[in-house]
């Protein structure tokens, strides 16, 4: 399987079965429950990660993509929210492997670690509240199409870092993305692009953004109220492999309209080409050559085909004696 998309159900599916890791042990997914009074549910006092694992039928192996990097960011998010996670990044990777093995997945999977304030408590605070940790997974295909996307610049402004930490994946903060994305969808677009409070481009509703101008890959800096994307960093690595010049700088809204290429990147969206923004055609109206080259390289790497980036992937079943 060497194509440019994940294989599996929609991200809109309801999850109702499988094996999860919760409260320090593996258990049936339906038993991993919390009270309706849980602090994290009521106030959004939690953080999460989104991690993909890709099935390689040739290798008969499931590869977790950038597992350690995701859990290192997860621990940084937890630190910002004063959530105590009783495991190291490596231990979390190993528990994730065990959870995936217990589910016997042989298809592309989306993994969701979640840490949150778990006490049934009304007080709005972070300190002195019991913490909880869970990890579950579900088969999932593309979050959005990987080419032909139509986007709009949202009226909803990206939350600033000194309002809600933008470099942490805070559960409550994602209402900002949900509002922007829902409005975009109702207006017939596939995605929303969000501006920061100073009116410059930040990122898409739930992914980082790159533009191509005059042969250069350009993306917004981490100081532009963006998530410090792991896929974003992977793009930099692949660009270096391909000899592409990269640049981090501010991007104006109108620069989107005159870009030669635009694409989104993130665990969910993977690498997805944008062909239209606010009814303006981007480039020639199809996935551009630099985007296409990066996509090909990315999907080779995430399925474990590229030996140069085998350190990106963690095998789930290796050494299991299958």
Q: What residues act catalytically?
A: 169
Report the distance separating Cα 239 and Cα 289, nearest Å: 13
Residue 163, C-beta contacts closer than 8 angstroms, at least 6 positions apart? none
Q: Identify whether the C-beta of residue 14 lies closer than 8 Å to the C-beta of residue 92.
A: no
| Closest to 87 in 3D by CA, of 25, 144, 36 | 25
Report the distance separating Cα 277 and Cα 152, nearest Å: 5
**What residues does 204 pair with on adjacent strands?**
193, 207
| Closest to 45 in 3D by CA, of 155, 138, 144, 128 | 128
Report the distance separating Cα 125 and Cα 136, nearest Å: 27
| Closest to 157 in 3D by CA, of 221, 250, 253 | 253
Q: How many CB atoms lie within 10 A of CB 286?
A: 14
Q: How far apart are the first and last CA of the chain?
A: 21
Residue 237 tokens, joined: 């690595």
| Closest to 234 in 3D by CA, of 160, 301, 293, 283 | 301
| Closest to 269 in 3D by CA, of 218, 232, 216 | 232
Residue 19 tokens, joined: 């094996």
- H or E stretch covering 292: helix 289-302
């Amino acid at each position: 399987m060497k194509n440019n998309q994940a294989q599996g159900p929609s991200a809109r599916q309801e999850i109702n079965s499988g094996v999860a890791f919760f409260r320090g042990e593996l258990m049936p997914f339906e038993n991993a429950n919390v009270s309706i009074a849980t602090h994290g549910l009521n106030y959004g006092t939690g953080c999460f990660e989104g991690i993909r694992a890709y099935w390689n039928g040739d290798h008969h192996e499931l590869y977790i993509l950038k597992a350690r990097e995701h859990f290192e960011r997860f621990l940084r998010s937890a630190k910002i929210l004063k959530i105590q996670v009783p495991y190291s990044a490596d231990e979390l990777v190993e528990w994730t492997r065990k959870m995936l093995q217990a589910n016997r997945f042989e298809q592309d999977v989306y993994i969701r670690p979640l840490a949150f304030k778990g006490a049934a408590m009304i007080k709005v605070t972070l300190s002195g509240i019991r913490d909880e940790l869970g990890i579950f997974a579900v088969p999932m295909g593309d979050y959005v199409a990987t080419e032909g996307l139509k986007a709009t610049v949202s009226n909803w402004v990206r939350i600033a870092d000194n309002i809600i930490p933008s470099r942490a994946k805070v559960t409550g903060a994602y209402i900002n993305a949900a509002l922007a994305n829902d409005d975009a969808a109702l207006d017939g677009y596939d995605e929303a692009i969000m501006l920061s409070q100073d009116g410059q481009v930040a990122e898409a509703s739930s992914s980082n953004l790159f533009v191509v101008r005059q042969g250069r890959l350009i993306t917004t800096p981490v100081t532009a109220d963006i998530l410090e994307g792991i896929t974003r960093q992977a793009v930099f690595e692949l660009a270096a492999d391909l000899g592409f010049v990269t640049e981090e700088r501010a991007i104006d809204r109108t620069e989107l309209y005159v870009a030669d290429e635009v694409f989104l990147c993130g665990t969910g969206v993977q690498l997805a080409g944008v062909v239209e923004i606010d009814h303006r055609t981007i480039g020639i109206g199809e996935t551009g050559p630099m985007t296409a080259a990066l996509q090909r390289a990315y999907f080779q790497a995430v399925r474990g085909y590229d030996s140069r980036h085998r350190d990106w992937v963690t095998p789930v079943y290796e050494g299991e004696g299958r």
